Chains A and B, each alone.
Chain A
Amino acid sequence: MALEAVIGLEVHAQLKTNTKIFCSCPTAFAASENEQVCPVCLGMPGVLPVLNKKAVEFGIRTGLALNSKIAETCRFDRKNYFYADLPKGYQISQYEKPICLGGYIEVNGRKVQIHRAHLEEDAGKLVHAGAAGLHCSDYSKVDFNRSSMPLLEIVSEPDLTSPEEARLYLTELRNILRYIEVCDGNLEEGSFRCDANVSLRPVGQKELGTKTEIKNMNSFRAVQRAIQSEIERQTALIEKGERIVQETRLWNEAEGKTHPMRSKEEAHDYRYFPEPDLMPLTISRQWVEEVRKSLPELPAQRRQRYQSDLGLSSEDAAVLTETKELSDFFESSLALEAPAKAVANWLIGPATAYLKESKKEFCQTALTPQNMADLCQAVSSGKVSSTIAKQLLLDLMAEGGDVAKLIESKGLAQVSDEGPIKAILQEVLDKSPSQLADYASGKVKLRQYFFGEAMKALKGKANPQVINKLLDEMLPPVAAG
C-alpha cells in the first residue's frame, strides 16, 4: 500500500512592534529578567489589556502578503489553562474570529494553502535552577519579559506533501515576513517558531489519517528532519498494522527522533470564550487599503519581474530573492546603473560562495551597491580584468572600501599597453622551446599555456585581448595536418 504524507505547519511569528500587544512595555531585548514588565503583563488584579494598534496593522500586513482575506470584524478570546509562566491563568488569543482567513504562499510554483492567521500574546519563560530543564531542577524562576509579546500564529492547511516542501514553505514564509518587515524570523531567538502536524494516508484516499503534532524544532533543517523521522515512524507502524495515536511529540535533535510528550501536559480543555475586556475589533476597508498601499514588492513578485523584465533565469531569480537583504542590494545596484546580468552573476557566483565559506549573512559583509556598480563599470571599461575583479569583490566583502582607490593603491589596473606585454610574451616563448615546437607541429591547445604563463607573469593584470592579438602575431605557423 503506497502511503502519502500530509503535513500542516503552525508558525508563531513574533511581531516587531515597539511595545507589547496589550501593554506599553517595550519589546526590545532586555538585559535582565523581569525588566520589561508592568502590572498588565504580570497579571496583577484589576488591570486590563489594551490592544496595540500596530500589532493589528502588522496582522493586516501579513494577511495581505499571504493573500488572505482580512476579517471585517475579529475578536479576542481567552484560552484558559494554568501554568506558572501564564500570569493571568489565560492567554488572550483569537479562536472563533481570527484576523486573517485563508490565503496561500507560492512554493516551487505551487500555491500552498493557508488556513488562517490570528493575533495572540506570548507567555513568560521559566528559568530552571540547578538543572537545564524542569526535571531535576531545585526550583524555577519565572521571567515575564516575554509575557504579552505580540504573536501572529499562521496556520497552513494540511497541504504540504514532503519534509522538503515543508522546509521550503517555511523559508518562503519567513522571507515574506522579513520583506514586509513584521518579524525578524530568528529561529534561535524564538521570534519564529514552528510546530508540525503530520499524518499519512493511502495514495488516492481523501480522508486524512490520524495526525501527530511535533514540537521543539529549532531550525528549518530540524523541521525537515523531524517530519522525515515522523513519516518513517508512522509508516513503520502502519506497515505493522498498528494504529497511530493522536498525540504531541517532541523532537530530540541530538537523537534525531521524536518522543511522545507526557499526556498529562497536553490534556487541556482550554474553555475558550470571548475576552470581555476587549471590544470586538472592526477593521475598516480603508485601513486595509492603506496598509496594502504601504506593502513593498514581495519575493514572488520580484522573482516574476527579474525573469520577465531583466531576462534572468528562474533559478537566478530565486537565488537573488532568497533574502530581502540580497534582493534589496541587487535592486540598489541596478539603481546605480549596474547591468543586471553582471550583478546577478557576481552575487550568485563568487559572493554566494564567499558567504558559504565565511559562514556569514549577506548583511554582515561590507560590500555596498556602489562598490558593485563601480566594479561592473571597471570590468566593462577594461580597467580591470575579471580575474582581478573577482579578487576585488572578495576584498570588498571582507574589508569594504572604494573600488577606484583599491585599484590605484594595489596597482591592479589592467595593462593594455602592447610594449610590456610583448616583452613578457617573448620571455615566455624563449624559455619554452619544446612547447613551441609541439605547437608548431599541431598541438594548438598549447596556445593556452603561453597565454597563462604570460598572464601569470603579469599578475593577472594584462588585457587578455591584447595578449591574444600579440600571440597571433608572435606564434609560429602551425604545420598542416
Chain B
Amino acid sequence: MSKSQLIGRTIAELHSLIKAKETSCLEITEAHIEAIEKGDERLGAFLSYTFDQARAAAAHWDERLSNGEAVPLLAGVPVAIKDNMCEVDTRTTCGSKILENFVSPYRAYAVEKLHEAGALILGKTNLDEFAMGSSTEHSAYKVTRNPIDPDYVPGGSSGGSAAAVGAGFCVTALGSDTGGSIRQPASYCGLVGMKPTYGMVSRFGLVAFASSLDQIGPFARNVEDCALTLLAIAGHDKRDSTCLSQSYRDQHAKPALTKAFIQEFKSRSAEENLKGKRIGIIKELIGDGIDDDVKAPILKAAALLEKCGARVEEVSLPHAKYALSVYYLVATAEASANLARFDGVRYGHRNMDAAELHAMYYATRNEGFGAEVKRRIMLGTYALSSGYYDAYYKKAQQVRALITADFHKIFENFEMVVSPTAPSAAFKFGAKSDDPIQMYMSDIASIPANLAGLPGISLPCGLADSNMPVGIQLVGRPMSDASLLQAAQGLETALDLKLVAEKIKSN
C-alpha cells in the first residue's frame, strides 16, 4: 500500500487495514511523517515534532499486535497535541517566548491516555500564545494557515491542531477550548471539534488559561473519530479536583460514552439517530451579528434535522448578549492569576540583566509575553482590583449564573440547542488582528457553552460565499456528551458532505 493511500483515513479504516495486515503502525507513522515533511512548512501546524517517539511507539504496538493482542482504541492512529499540554522529553511552549525551552517532567493526563490507547503522537501544534486568540496569529513563533485555503486563518486558539487534522498530517488531534478554541477552528477548517462537559477530561498537565472554562477535546474529520478520541481521553483523574468522579459519571452520563455506543450510532441511519430529539435553535445566535452566508447553511441543517424526525423549535437565551463581556472578565481574571507563575524564578525565560527582584519580574514578563497576553493580564488584574471587583468580576460571575440558568430552563424541554459555531466563516490573515473586539466577537456563539460548562460540538454543514466551510454547533445538557455525539452523527450522515476530503483534494 502506498504511503499516500494511508493519508486521510478514518480510525476504523486504519484498524481494518492493520487487522488485515495490509499495513502496520510503523507504516502509518512513516506515511504521516512524510505528509508533514512535505506540507507543514507551508501550513505551520506544528511547533515541534516527536517523530522518533512516534516511531518507537508504533514499533511497540506492532509487536504487541503481532502477538495477537487486542487492538486498543487508538492503536496506530497518528495524532497531534496542542502545545499547551505537557509531554515529557519535548518542549511545551504554549506558543510563548516565556516558555521557549520549557520541558515538563510530567505528562498531561489526556496525553497519558493517548499513549495508553496506542495513539502515535507526531508532535505539538501551534496556538495563540497561552491559548489567547481566535486565529492562531498570536503565536510567538509562527502563523498557521488554513489547510483549505492558505490565505485564510485556521481559527484559534487551537489552529495548529485543526490545520494538522485538516491537512491529513494526523487523524485526530487534541485542542483546548476556553471560549471556543476547539469548535471555532474546527468550523473554520471544516472539521468536527468538540468541547466536552466541563470536568469530563482532566486538566492535569494542561497549562491553564482560565481554569473554570478550560477543557481539552478532540478534532477529527468525522464524528466517529471525534467520539473515539474523546472516549480515549475522558476519565476521572484525582490530580484534578474539578474532574468528575467515576461515580458521578456512572450516575449522570446516560447513555455513557462507550465503544459499543459509538459503533451503534455509527451504524444507524440519520433518522434513527435523530428521531424524536427535541432541538432548540437559539434565536439570539441566528439573528443580528451573524453573517447571512453562515445563517443559510445553519437553517438548512436545521430543516434537515426536522426532516430526520427531530423536533426543532426556536428558543431564547436571553442573557446571551452578555456572554462575551462576562467571558472577557472571568477568563482574563483567572488568567491574570494563572500566568503569575511565569516569573523567571524557577523555569522559563528570565531577564538576566535586572539588578533586583522586581526589575527582574518586569523585564522577564515584558520580554516573555506577547501583546495579547499582556492585554488580557491587565484586563483581568483590573477586573479583580480592589474597588472594581464587585462591578466587574463579581457581576460577571452573577451574569454567568444567569446564562447557565437560561440553558437549564431550555433543557427542561429540549435535549440540545443548535447555533452557528461562529458568526462568520474563516477570515483572511490580518483581517481582524488590529481590532481585538472584532477578534473577540468571533467567539460569541461558542462562549456560552464554556460559561455554563456544557458539552458542545461543531461539525461542518455547508459553505459560505468565500467557499470556506461553515460549522454548526450542537450544545447539550451537562454529561450528555454521548447523546450529543449521536445527534452529530445523525446530522453528519444526513448532510452527506465530504467537505474536507474534497477540499484537500482540490488543493
Binding site for B on A (CB under 8 A): 39, 42-51, 78, 80, 82-84, 87-90, 142, 269, 271-273, 276-279
B433 touches A (CB below 8 Å):
no
Given the known inter-chain contacts A48-B240, A89-B341, please indicate yes or no for A276 contacting B384, CB distance below 8 A.
no
Task: Determine the chain B residues whose CB is within 8 A of the CB of A276 once the complex forms.
Answer: 210-212, 242, 334
Does B384 contact A271, Cβ atoms closer than 8 Å? yes
Enumerate B77-129 residues with CB–CB distance to A below 8 Å. 84-86, 92, 94, 99, 102, 104-106, 108
Task: Determine the chain A residues whose CB is within 8 A of the CB of B260 once the complex forms.
Answer: none
B206 touches A (CB below 8 Å):
yes
B61 touches A (CB below 8 Å):
no
Task: Determine the chain B residues whose CB is within 8 A of the CB of A46 once the complex forms.
Answer: 84-86, 92, 104, 106, 108, 203-208
Does A273 contact B333, Cβ atoms closer than 8 Å? yes
B385 touches A (CB below 8 Å):
yes
Main SS at interface, chain A:
loop
Binary per-residue interface labels of chain B (192-233) against chain A in the complex, 1 for a CB within 8 Å, 0 otherwise = 000000000001111110111000000000000000000000
Task: Determine the chain A residues whose CB is within 8 A of the CB of B437 once the complex forms.
Answer: none
29 contacts between A and B (CB under 8 A): A42-B346, A43-B341, A43-B346, A44-B346, A45-B94, A45-B208, A46-B84, A46-B104, A46-B204, A47-B204, A48-B204, A48-B240, A48-B241, A50-B238, A50-B240, A80-B336, A82-B340, A82-B343, A88-B340, A88-B341, A271-B381, A271-B385, A271-B386, A276-B210, A276-B211, A276-B212, A276-B242, A277-B240, A277-B242
* Shortest Cβ distance from B213 into A: residue: A276
B239 touches A (CB below 8 Å):
yes
Q: Find A47's partner among B102, B106, B334, B346 (CB 8 Å cutoff).
A: B106
Does A47 contact B205, Cβ atoms closer than 8 Å? yes
Cα distance A90–B211 in the bound complex, in angstroms:
14
Task: Determine the chain B residues whose CB is within 8 A of the CB of A42 once the complex forms.
Answer: 346
Kindly provide the distance from the CB of B478 to the nearest chain A CB, expressed in whole angstroms: 15
Kindly provide the distance from the CB of A129 to the nearest chain B CB, expressed in whole angstroms: 14
Does A45 contact B86, Cβ atoms closer than 8 Å? yes
B337 touches A (CB below 8 Å):
yes
Which 5 A-B pairs have CB atoms at the shortest separation, nearest pair first?
A89-B340, A276-B211, A271-B384, A276-B212, A45-B207
Does B211 contact A80, Cβ atoms closer than 8 Å? no
* Shortest Cβ distance from B211 into A: residue: A276
Task: Determine the chain B residues whose CB is within 8 A of the CB of A87 once the complex forms.
Answer: 341, 345-346
Q: With A39-B106, A82-B340, A273-B337 given, name 8 new contacts (CB 8 A).
A: A48-B239, A49-B241, A80-B384, A84-B357, A88-B340, A273-B389, A276-B242, A277-B241
B188 touches A (CB below 8 Å):
no
B414 touches A (CB below 8 Å):
no
Cα distance A88–B338 in the bound complex, in angstroms:
8
B361 touches A (CB below 8 Å):
yes
Binary per-residue interface labels of chain B (335-363) against chain A in the complex, 1 for a CB within 8 Å, 0 otherwise = 01101111101110000000001100100
Binary per-residue interface labels of chain B (228-255) against chain A in the complex, 1 for a CB within 8 Å, 0 otherwise = 0000000000111110000000000000
The range of chain B's interface size is 35 or more
Cα distance A83–B357 in the bound complex, in angstroms:
8
Task: Determine the chain B residues whose CB is within 8 A of the CB of A277 once the complex forms.
Answer: 208, 211, 240-242
Kindly provide the distance from the CB of A286 to the nearest chain B CB, expressed in whole angstroms: 18
Does B104 contact A45, Cβ atoms closer than 8 Å? yes
B393 touches A (CB below 8 Å):
yes
Cα distance A273–B211 in the bound complex, in angstroms:
13
* Shortest Cβ distance from B99 into A: residue: A45
Kindly provide the distance from the CB of A337 to the nearest chain B CB, expressed in whole angstroms: 51
Task: Determine the chain B residues whose CB is within 8 A of the CB of A44 once the complex forms.
Answer: 104, 106, 341, 346-347
* Shortest Cβ distance from A134 into B: residue: B357
Cα distance A142–B357 in the bound complex, in angstroms:
12
Task: Determine the chain A residues whose CB is within 8 A of the CB of B212 once the complex forms.
Answer: 276
Cα distance A47–B206 in the bound complex, in angstroms:
8
Enumerate B47-95 residues with CB–CB distance to A below 8 Å. 84-86, 92, 94
Task: Determine the chain A residues whose CB is within 8 A of the CB of B238 once the complex forms.
Answer: 50
Kindly provide the distance from the CB of A37 to the nearest chain B CB, expressed in whole angstroms: 10
Task: Determine the chain A residues whose CB is within 8 A of the CB of B339 once the complex forms.
Answer: 89
Does B104 contact A279, Cβ atoms closer than 8 Å? no
Cα distance A142–B358 in the bound complex, in angstroms:
15
Cα distance A389–B203 in the bound complex, in angstroms:
69
Kindly provide the distance from the CB of B106 to the nearest chain A CB, expressed in whole angstroms: 6
Q: Find B241's partner among A82, A88, A142, A279 (CB 8 Å cutoff).
A: A279
Q: Find A45's partner among B102, B241, B334, B345 (CB 8 Å cutoff).
A: B102
Task: Determine the chain A residues whose CB is within 8 A of the CB of B240 once the complex forms.
Answer: 48, 50, 277
Cα distance A49–B242 in the bound complex, in angstroms:
10
Task: Determine the chain A residues whose CB is within 8 A of the CB of B337 once the complex forms.
Answer: 78, 80, 88-90, 271, 273
Cα distance A51–B386 in the bound complex, in angstroms:
28
Enumerate B346-398 residues with CB–CB distance to A below 8 Å. 346-347, 357-358, 361, 381, 384-386, 389, 393
Task: Determine the chain B residues whose CB is within 8 A of the CB of A269 once the complex forms.
Answer: 385-386
Kindly provide the distance from the CB of B82 to the nearest chain A CB, expressed in whole angstroms: 12
Kindly provide the distance from the CB of A333 to the nearest chain B CB, expressed in whole angstroms: 47
* Shortest Cβ distance from A140 into B: residue: B357
Q: Which of B203, B358, B384 gathers the greatest number of chain A CB atoms within 10 Å?
A: B384
Cα distance A269–B345 in the bound complex, in angstroms:
22
Kindly provide the distance from the CB of B188 to the nearest chain A CB, expressed in whole angstroms: 26
Cα distance A39–B102 in the bound complex, in angstroms:
13
* Shortest Cβ distance from B394 into A: residue: A273
Given the known inter-chain contacts A39-B105, A46-B205, A90-B337, please indicate yes or no for A279 contacting B346, CB distance below 8 A.
no
Cα distance A80–B381 in the bound complex, in angstroms:
10
Does B239 contact A50, Cβ atoms closer than 8 Å? yes
Given the known inter-chain contacts A89-B337, A89-B341, A277-B242, please indicate yes or no for A82 contacting B361, CB distance below 8 A.
yes
Given the known inter-chain contacts A45-B92, A271-B386, please indicate yes or no for A142 contacting B381, CB distance below 8 A.
no
Cα distance A47–B203 in the bound complex, in angstroms:
8
* Shortest Cβ distance from A82 into B: residue: B361
Does A51 contact B208, Cβ atoms closer than 8 Å? no
Enumerate B154-198 residues with CB–CB distance to A below 8 Å. none
* Shortest Cβ distance from A88 into B: residue: B341
Cα distance A365–B207 in the bound complex, in angstroms:
54
Given the known inter-chain contacts A48-B241, A89-B340, please indicate yes or no for A84 contacting B345, CB distance below 8 A.
yes
Task: Determine the chain A residues whose CB is within 8 A of the CB of B341 once the complex forms.
Answer: 43-45, 87-89
Cα distance A272–B238 in the bound complex, in angstroms:
26
Cα distance A455–B464 in the bound complex, in angstroms:
117
Q: Which of A43, A89, A272 gathers the greatest number of chain B CB atoms within 10 Å?
A: A89
* Shortest Cβ distance from B334 into A: residue: A276
Task: Determine the chain A residues whose CB is within 8 A of the CB of B92 once the complex forms.
Answer: 45-46
* Shortest Cβ distance from B199 into A: residue: A279
* Shortest Cβ distance from A270 into B: residue: B386
Cα distance A259–B84 in the bound complex, in angstroms:
47
Kindly provide the distance from the CB of B148 to the nearest chain A CB, expressed in whole angstroms: 32
Task: Determine the chain B residues whose CB is within 8 A of the CB of A84 once the complex forms.
Answer: 343, 345, 357
Task: Determine the chain B residues whose CB is within 8 A of the CB of A88 once the complex forms.
Answer: 337, 340-341
Kindly provide the distance from the CB of A53 to the nearest chain B CB, expressed in whole angstroms: 12
Task: Determine the chain A residues whose CB is within 8 A of the CB of B340 once the complex forms.
Answer: 80, 82, 88-90
Cα distance A372–B206 in the bound complex, in angstroms:
62
Given the known inter-chain contacts A44-B104, A90-B340, please indicate yes or no for A273 contacting B393, CB distance below 8 A.
yes
Q: Which of A44, A47, A78 gathers the greatest number of chain B CB atoms within 10 Å?
A: A47
Kindly provide the distance from the CB of B276 to the nearest chain A CB, expressed in whole angstroms: 35
Kindly provide the distance from the CB of A40 to the nearest chain B CB, expressed in whole angstroms: 8
Cα distance A84–B385 in the bound complex, in angstroms:
22
* Shortest Cβ distance from A78 into B: residue: B337
Cα distance A306–B388 in the bound complex, in angstroms:
56
Task: Determine the chain B residues whose CB is within 8 A of the CB of A279 once the complex forms.
Answer: 241-242
* Shortest Cβ distance from A49 into B: residue: B241
Cα distance A51–B86 in the bound complex, in angstroms:
22
Cα distance A336–B446 in the bound complex, in angstroms:
74
Kindly provide the distance from the CB of B402 to the nearest chain A CB, expressed in whole angstroms: 18
Cα distance A142–B344 in the bound complex, in angstroms:
13
Kindly provide the distance from the CB of B301 to the nearest chain A CB, expressed in whole angstroms: 35
Kindly provide the distance from the CB of A24 to the nearest chain B CB, expressed in whole angstroms: 10
Cα distance A20–B225 in the bound complex, in angstroms:
41
Task: Determine the chain B residues whose CB is within 8 A of the CB of A50 once the complex forms.
Answer: 238-241
Cα distance A142–B345 in the bound complex, in angstroms:
9
